[in-house]
């Protein structure tokens, strides 16, 4: 039987974001520090109150470029009782669990992303580039000016999953198209988004093919950025300036960790289903209570996996479900007629941040601070972050 001792006992009290850009000429640590300082100031606390740090991001950060030790020293935080380096959805959950368990009282989570390693340096002068070139499937020109070239792996495994999904369920690409257009529509209303131009369903289907059936609009946008969050106890949150956003329930998920992508279990056995079940076992809220939904969109197939895993529709039915919940006036999704999806534009429009920007957007929407972009009366947000194979999380946030 699932236990839920952390329900509503911890809260997000600070959020910080850097600008998003294709080439900001910044280091991981520089970006991470900017986001961290912004989040601490937003929380209205002294930095010395932070006694737990989770550094998160792609490999340079975990190696120390902006990991928790580098962050602690650079911020001048005297003492921490907890720290870890992590990635994707697991970073936030680890930090929340640490506060709930009493390993620290106030945790800072910082996630950085960069579009690519410094390609102006030679492989011999840049060990990280040498490692990437050794294991990357895009070689020495990885990144460059082409959005389609990813910087550790490209989209081939996910293109294969798209093909398998279409084959197994006898469906076309409608589900992917609706998700892509929704996110770009929201991105066009978000001044922080890298991709400001909305697209239509026709634009999606006519877009450049990358790995059949994956098209350019199925892929998130590599950028330089950082996000940071401050998590503390609900009791402490009530004394701070911002409206508290409570962590109602959360779960991680994993299946057959360590296997190759193509050897993983079936569609309904991938890690998003495990995380979703863990969440629903621990939550008093259900889908009918959800006002905001943030499915991870490293690729559109990820987001469709989240849609089906949490139970919006049955496996293979996402295309018809999203079509029936489409608002043609605004070119966005309104699930069950009201729940909005990826209101910031997600990785497909705002830019790739390993899902950390989903938490930031959810908190701001639940605080009610987003002006023209604000979803009226938003109280509960469901967030799913991570790949099919590693670091998947399911988190329910709520506000009074």
Indicate the SS3 state at residue 198: coil
pLDDT above 70 for 153 = no
Q: Which domains does the chain have, with CATH numbers?
A: 10-117+223-234 (3.40.47.10)
Please report the pLDDT score of residue 121 as a whole number.
Answer: 40
Q: Six-digit token pair at 338?
A: 């009201």
Task: Using pLDDT thresholds of 50, 70 and 90, give the confidence band for residue 259.
Answer: low
140 vs 122: CA distance, rounded Å:
10
Please report the pLDDT score of residue 146 as a whole number.
Answer: 60
Task: Give the max Cα distance, the chain.
Answer: 58
Percent pLDDT > 90 in the chain is: 68
pLDDT above 60 for 27 = yes
pLDDT 10s digits, 340-393: 999 999 999 999 998 999 999 999 999 999 999 999 999 999 999 988 777 789
Please report the pLDDT score of residue 154 as a whole number.
Answer: 63
Strand pairing partners for 251?
394
Q: Which residue has the tokens 């946030």?
A: 397
Please report the pLDDT score of residue 261 as a whole number.
Answer: 53
- Looking at every residue in the chain, the average pLDDT score rounds to 87
Strand pairing partners for 247?
397
Please answer whether residues 58 and 132 qualify as being in contact, where contact means their C-beta atoms are separated by less than 8 angstroms.
Answer: no
pLDDT 10s digits, 51-80: 999 987 544 444 444 577 788 889 999 999
Please report the pLDDT score of residue 361 as a whole number.
Answer: 98
pTM of the model: 0.91
186 vs 373: CA distance, rounded Å:
9
Q: How many alpha carbons lie under 13 Å from residue 249 in its C-beta half-sphere?
A: 19
pLDDT above 90 for 182 = yes
pLDDT 10s digits, 321-339: 999 999 999 999 999 999 9
Q: Phi first, then psi: give them for residue 57, nearest 5 degrees.
A: 150, -160
pLDDT above 80 for 149 = no
pLDDT 10s digits, 222-252: 899 999 999 999 999 999 999 999 999 999 8
Average the pLDDT over 254-276 and give the result. 73
Please answer whether residues 148 and 211 qualify as being in contact, where contact means their C-beta atoms are separated by less than 8 angstroms.
Answer: no
**Measuring CA to CA, how many Å separate 179 from each of 31, 174, 182, 191, 298?**
29, 9, 5, 20, 12
User: Bigger pLDDT: 315 or 2?
Assistant: 315
């Amino acid at each position: 039987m699932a236990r839920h001792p952390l329900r509503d006992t911890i809260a997000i009290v600070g959020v910080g974001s850097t600008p998003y850009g294709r080439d900001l000429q910044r280091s991981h640590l520089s970006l991470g520090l900017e986001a961290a300082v912004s989040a601490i100031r937003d929380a209205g606390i002294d930095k010395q109150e932070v006694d737990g740090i989770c550094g998160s991001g792609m490999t340079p950060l975990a190696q120390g470029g902006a990991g928790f030790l580098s962050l602690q020293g650079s911020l001048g935080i005297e003492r921490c009782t907890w720290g870890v380096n992590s990635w994707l959805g697991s970073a936030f959950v680890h930090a929340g669990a640490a506060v709930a368990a009493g390993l620290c009282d106030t945790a800072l989570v910082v996630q950085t992303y960069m579009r690519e390693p410094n390609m102006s340096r030679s492989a011999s002068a840049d060990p990280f580039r040498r490692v990437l070139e050794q294991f990357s499937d895009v070689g020495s020109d990885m990144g460059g000016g082409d959005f389609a070239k990813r910087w550790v792996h490209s989209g081939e495994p996910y293109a294969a999953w798209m093909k398998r999904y279409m084959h197994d369920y006898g469906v076309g690409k409608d589900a992917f198209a609706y998700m892509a257009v929704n996110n770009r529509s929201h991105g066009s209303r978000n001044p922080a988004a890298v991709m400001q131009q909305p697209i239509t369903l026709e634009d999606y289907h006519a877009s450049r093919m990358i790995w059949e059936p994956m098209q350019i609009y199925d892929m998130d946008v590599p950028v330089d950025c950082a996000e940071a969050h401050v998590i503390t106890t609900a009791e402490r949150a009530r004394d701070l300036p911002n409206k508290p956003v409570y962590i109602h329930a959360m779960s991680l998920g994993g299946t057959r960790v360590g296997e190759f992508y193509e050897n993983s279990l079936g569609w309904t056995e991938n890690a998003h289903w495990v995380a979703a079940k863990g969440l629903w076992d621990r939550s008093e809220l259900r889908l009918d209570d959800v006002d905001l939904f943030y499915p991870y969109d490293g690729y559109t197939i990820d987001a469709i996996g989240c849609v089906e895993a949490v139970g919006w529709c049955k496996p293979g039915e996402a295309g018809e479900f999203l079509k029936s919940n489409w608002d043609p006036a605004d070119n966005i999704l309104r699930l069950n007629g009201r729940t909005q999806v990826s209101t910031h534009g997600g990785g497909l429009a705002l830019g790739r941040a390993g899902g950390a920007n989903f938490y930031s957007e959810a908190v701001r929407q639940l605080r009610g601070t987003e002006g023209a972009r604000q979803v009226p009366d938003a109280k509960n947000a469901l967030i799913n972050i991570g790949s099919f194979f590693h670091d998947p999380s399911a988190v329910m946030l709520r506000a009074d």
